Amino acid sequence: MATSFLGLKKSSSSGALNAMEGDGFEYSLGPPDSGFSIFLADRTKKIHFIRHAEGYHNLATKETGSNDCLLRGDEPAAAHHLYDSRLTAKGIAQAEALRTHLASRPSGARSFTAFDLVVVSPLTRTMETALHVFGQPREPGKPAFLTHVDAPKNSPEYASGVKVAPPRFVVREECRERWGHYVCDGRRSISEIAKEFPNFDFSEMVHDEDVFYSDERESDEHCCDRAVRFLQWLNSRPEKCIAVVTHSSFLRHLFGQFGETLKADDRDNLQRLAGNCELRSVVLCSHGVKDGQKVDPLMPPVANPSTVRMGSIYMQPIA
């Protein structure tokens, strides 16, 4: 029987999302043909996927009614004004609205949603979104017990003087947008971006320059493969409540691989195109088959080696 990383059995029975400890519904009971699934709690974690807020590239395509405004034309992609596009004023407002929502969204034993880790795509719009949604991250290398901030205002915890540790922000190339062709999906160098976002953890980035972007669009197959590799990396993390700030096409390629046996409404809700700054929460379940396997860093495709064989040329030594 084939299985997926999200714990959805690819059989006649539909999968069900397991819960996390502290939410009051830790168990899903029933035989395999009941339409339920049951998982060990320590093999699950909550993943909250967030599409970036509105960027200027989104606004441009809405105003022109076409993606043609995202093509580089005769100029280098990096010279285009929509390259690695930033958030609009509306996008910033969307991110701040989500922050307000999370501040009053109960999770576990708290009146607000607190995250152990925020994983961010290395594009500017996702990092801006993360900052406006979650505030300043915890400094890389600094333990949680040395960094405390107030709980969200107007919460019972804030009134009681409760302090919380802000999450770390880890930047990962795997969750960036499907690259190529459109200028908005290229990124600036990490050395430039890091100056603007100093407390983001870039230590797991391998390439300074964007070695992935080209005029050719990344294939659907490759984007799907790296999306599953990204799940494998998430599964290897010790944190249990993780936010991922990413992109619509990446999410479409990720979620499109899951949910075949779900009820139609649930499947459509999982796989539909995400709106700007939309939060979509899932439970990631590991079946153990890939636990402990090393997840290699994302590398650019390797060109096919040349098959041309050149004969050796003997040079007469000069006397």
Q: What is the dihedral of CA 67, 72, 73, 75, to 10 degrees?
A: 160
Predicted local confidence at residue 6, as pLDDT: 38
Residues facing 117 on adjacent strands:
168, 242
Alpha helices in the chain (DSSP H): 56-64, 89-103, 124-134, 156-159, 190-196, 220-236, 248-255, 264-271
Predicted local confidence at residue 307, as pLDDT: 55
Cβ neighbors of 12 (< 8 A, separation 6 or more) are: 33, 261
Predicted local confidence at residue 26, as pLDDT: 37
Task: At 105, list the tokens.
Answer: 């969204």
Flag whether pLDDT at 142 surpasses 50.
yes
Predicted local confidence at residue 112, as pLDDT: 84
At residue 273, what is the residue type?
L
Mean pLDDT of 208-237: 94
Distance from CA of residue 308 to its chain's centroid?
41
Query: For residue 8, what pLDDT band results from cuts at 50, 70 and 90?
Result: very low
Flag whether pLDDT at 4 surpasses 60.
no
Report the relative pairing of strands 163-164 and 241-246 from DSSP bridges. unpaired
- 104-135 per-position pLDDT tens digit: 888 877 888 889 999 999 999 999 999 999 99
Mean pLDDT of 158-168: 90
Predicted local confidence at residue 305, as pLDDT: 52
Mean pLDDT of 222-247: 94
Mean pLDDT of 53-82: 95
Mean pLDDT of 233-247: 94
Tokens 């249990």: give the residue: 240
Predicted local confidence at residue 175, as pLDDT: 97
Query: For residue 309, what pLDDT band results from cuts at 50, 70 and 90?
Result: low
Cβ neighbors of 203 (< 8 A, separation 6 or more) are: 140
Flag whether pLDDT at 70 surpasses 90.
yes
Low-confidence winner among 1-10, 161-170, 210-219 (lowest mean pLDDT): 1-10
Residue pair 242/48 in contact by the 8 Å Cβ criterion: yes
Mean pLDDT of 278-291: 85
Q: How far apart are CA 33 and CA 263, in angstroms?
A: 14
Query: For residue 303, what pLDDT band results from cuts at 50, 70 and 90?
Result: low
Kindly list the distances between the CA atom of residue 30 and the CA atoms of 26, 81, 266, 269, in Å, as whole numbers in the listed order: 14, 55, 20, 24
Q: pTM of the entire structure?
A: 0.82
Predicted local confidence at residue 291, as pLDDT: 74
Predicted local confidence at residue 107, as pLDDT: 81
Mean pLDDT of 227-234: 94
Residue pair 246/50 in contact by the 8 Å Cβ criterion: yes
Flag whether pLDDT at 318 surpasses 70.
no
Flag whether pLDDT at 288 surpasses 80.
no
Query: For residue 9, what pLDDT band results from cuts at 50, 70 and 90?
Result: very low
Mean pLDDT of 67-88: 95
Query: For residue 31, what pLDDT band results from cuts at 50, 70 and 90?
Result: low
Low-confidence winner among 8-22, 114-128, 188-202, 292-306 (lowest mean pLDDT): 8-22
The length of the chain in residues reads 319
Residue pair 133/102 in contact by the 8 Å Cβ criterion: yes
Predicted local confidence at residue 214, as pLDDT: 93
Burial of 257 (0-12, 13-18, 19+ CB in 10 A): middle
Flag whether pLDDT at 68 surpasses 90.
yes
Query: Of 145-149, 186-190, 258-262, where does the model show the most confidence?
Result: 186-190
With vertex at residue 257, the alpha carbon angle to CA 252 and CA 260, rounded to the nearest 5 degrees, is: 115
